[in-house]
Chain A
Amino acid sequence: MPLKALDIYKLLPRKNCKECGDPTCLTFAMKLASGKGEVDRCPYLDEQTRNILGSSTRPPIRLVRVGVGERSFAVGDELVQFRHEKTFYHPPGVMVAVSDLWTREKVQEVVARVRDTVIVRVGTDLRLDGVAIRGQSGDPSTFRKAVEAVEDIADLPEVLMAGEPAVMDQGLAVCGHFRPLIHAATPLNHEAMAGLARDYGCPLAVKPDSPGDLEALVARCTDRGVKNLVLDPAASSLHRFQNVSSAIRQQAITRTTPSLGYPVFLDAAATGMQDAAIVTGILRFASVIVVEDPGPASLLALLTLRQNIYTDPQKPIQMTPGVYRVGNPGPDAPVLLTVNFSLTFFTLQGYLEAARVPCFMVIVDTEGLSVLTAVAAGKLSEALVAESLKKFGMESEVSHRSLIIPGYAAPLSGRIEEATGWKAMVGPRDAADIGEYLEKEWKH
């Protein structure tokens, strides 16, 4: 259970020494209670108090950073189970796997693609996040060479995947100071792996034999001084992963099991159904997802799904009201009215482009509401249409005075005609029918 500020205050020295940076012990306690303070800033706490405070005042899911520099990413620090309850904050890092059994050229070809691929959607650059280097040779110097091949051409975040501490040690000798994720500490090797993670200051994935053993293995690693952990639930199937990952999320955010308050790792390639695993990972709380080079089609779909799911649901995506051109419309081109809900806009724009009829789209400000909702809520009115046509200077753009309005705005057609002096033509309700509509109604 989270502690209240006053409960925390009682555990503090109450001497207001200011050494923590706060003016009083009470303000420090309030910070801790809200999850914004660091217990370690108070130098006067004994170990037992520190443990009590540590587990109840840190964020429910620890924020863990992988990599350094511009492309580094942070995961964790999530607060909800459903995105509609607030939002998801830190999208999962998607790491493309290479193997130390591959040639240097093959490794670098994949790494260059991860480094250079950018997809621009809705004004945002979407990228893959890094490289996972699989130590499949079991040989320290072979692994080291593979890590060098990656490091030589890219400053990308890395996951080092090797079960033998001696192999891991050689990888860390190359990139250990660039905060790679070490994968993984197991029941057999965790002492040595935790030692390496502590020495290099790297995040450490813990992978027990079965999900139920996560807590115990986490405790053994934190006891050895490793703070930045990532949980690999070692699920045997997508069914198990989705169940276990949901349970981890639930128990972490409710602080039922504080030792599960870490980001979750998923090796999507290992499931044998990579696309399905990627979907599950994105939707079900994975924070680091390892994939085999996904190819252009899956890449596009996965980056888009991740963008969708990590969009703040409280902000409807709105288009800036104004005139948008499809093709190169002339003075006799059709003028189509619609709302500034981005889903409506992009859907209509897509069908207009497919119809290959150059035209003007007049986007009016309905505060991001769809046509149906905007009409019902009175946000789409004849006054707004008249004002928008004037403001956007449509009268000088076209030689005619015909405005195609959405099918769902049909009840407004008379009032729009009166308010604007334009003829209102009622278009289809479904954007999919716009091509046929223009073909039949406009060309006549």
Chain B
Amino acid sequence: MALQTISSWSGRIGTVVLGATPSEGGSRSIRYTIGGEQDLPFVGDPPSGHLPLVAYELCDDPAIWPPVVREFLGDLAGDPGAWAREAERSYRPDLVRLFLTSTRKRDFQDYAGLRRTIEEVLQQATLPLIIEGSTDQAVDSEVFAACGEAGEGERLLLGTAEAGRYRSVAAAAMAYGHAVIAQSPIDINLAKQLNILLRETGVPADRIVIDPYTGALGYGFEYSYSVMERIRTSALKGDADLAMPMISGAPDTLTIREVREASPAIRQDVAMKWELYTALSSALAGASIVCVRHPQTIAPLREAISAHWGGAGEG
């Protein structure tokens, strides 16, 4: 006799397609569909919806990247194209997430350089790509236009739209056929409000991925965990404005005290475990994409997600 939860959900999480293969006008080796769940994460035999994906994060200016990762990678961190290629070949994530950290420099203006970086990463790596643009309104418009254009046809996931700052990224996504990350500060109502704003701007629901913001484990992670569970259950109860897949990456994970102050002998291990515990918890809370920065987190995380799925996994 089976022992199974009794579900009476009426809603369904929408789907978002990421990446375009040559037959779809892009150059990616694979495309993914995320979302589609009709029940709680990993519940059911097999679970509903699509297997959560693991994104590996890298950047084009490693100056503000976690030292523990730079230490592990050595020179690789200085070359985004080589970094992406090595990640794809050796660490085997499902997606690559490129942070354009170079745009955070004061008086940034090198938009041509950004285009070259994105083209280089698209050439060196074949996986679908997430690009995080600027964090400064002054350069948003040109940065996101550069991202959108350089990745035209590739069906990127572009980040990040926030309540006060979403027009540039939304415009670039619509003009060049990409999806958008909508980030709100650990608050289900603000998440919903931003999705409505984006829809009114013209971004369709199947081009939105919710980022509820993830605090590092031990530094507010429990708030993020519960907001993800609340977003998920609200969507399953039928709230269409929250029925988008979620992405979770805790940006502070590898710079917290526990990692920084760990003895050198165990620092890499602490970094990896901290990411593994955080990212797996986020997947169990309902995230469709979980992001990590330490290469060694990827394999055990994918294995764990697959084991929760029922072992078989799917593309």
User: Within A231-247, which residues are at the interface with B (CB < 8 Å)?
Assistant: 233, 237-239, 242-244, 246-247
Rank and list the top 4 A-B pairs by shortest CB-CB distance, nearest first: A343-B220, A212-B1, A276-B304, A308-B222
- Please give 14 more A-B residue pairs, beta carbons under 8 A apart, in addition to A301-B273, A346-B220, A354-B260: A83-B222, A244-B3, A251-B6, A273-B300, A275-B280, A276-B300, A284-B284, A296-B266, A301-B277, A343-B219, A343-B223, A350-B260, A353-B260, A436-B64
Q: CB of B138 within 8 A of chain A?
A: no
Q: CB of A72 within 8 A of chain B?
A: no
Q: CB of B281 within 8 A of chain A?
A: yes
- The distance from the CB of B229 to the nearest CB of chain A, in whole angstroms, is 5
Which residues of chain B come closer than 8 Å to A51, judged between CB atoms? none
Which residues of chain B come closer than 8 Å to A248, judged between CB atoms? 3
- The distance from the CB of B6 to the nearest CB of chain A, in whole angstroms, is 7
* B226 and A82 contact, CB distance less than 8 A: yes
User: Within A267-294, which residues are at the interface with B (CB < 8 Å)?
Assistant: 271, 273, 275-276, 278-280, 283-284
Q: How many residues of chain B are within 8 Å of chain A by beta carbon?
A: 62
User: Within A105-164, which residues are at the interface with B (CB < 8 Å)?
Assistant: 121
* A238 and B277 contact, CB distance less than 8 A: no
Listed in ascending order, the chain B residues whose CB lies under 8 Å from chain A are 1-6, 40, 42-45, 47, 63-64, 104, 106, 135, 185-187, 215-223, 225-226, 229-230, 233, 251-252, 255-258, 260, 262, 266, 269-270, 272-274, 276-277, 280-281, 284-285, 300, 303-304, 307-311
User: Within A194-229, which residues are at the interface with B (CB < 8 Å)?
Assistant: 211-214
- Say which residue of A84, A213, A304, A432 sits within 8 Å of B64 (CB atoms): A432
Which residues of chain B come closer than 8 Å to A308, judged between CB atoms? 217-218, 221-222, 225
Which residues of chain A come closer than 8 Å to B252, judged between CB atoms? 347, 350, 431-432
Which residues of chain A come closer than 8 Å to B281, judged between CB atoms? 279, 283, 305
Listed in ascending order, the chain A residues whose CB lies under 8 Å from chain B are 82-84, 121, 211-214, 233, 237-239, 242-244, 246-248, 250-251, 256, 271, 273, 275-276, 278-280, 283-284, 295-298, 300-302, 304-305, 307-309, 311, 313, 317, 341-343, 346-347, 350-351, 353-354, 370, 372-373, 429-433, 436, 440
Report the Cα distance A250→B226, complex, angstroms: 18
* B6 and A250 contact, CB distance less than 8 A: yes
- Say which residue of A243, A304, A307, A354 sits within 8 Å of B5 (CB atoms): A243
* SS of A interface (majority): helix
Which residues of chain A come closer than 8 Å to B226, judged between CB atoms? 82-84, 313
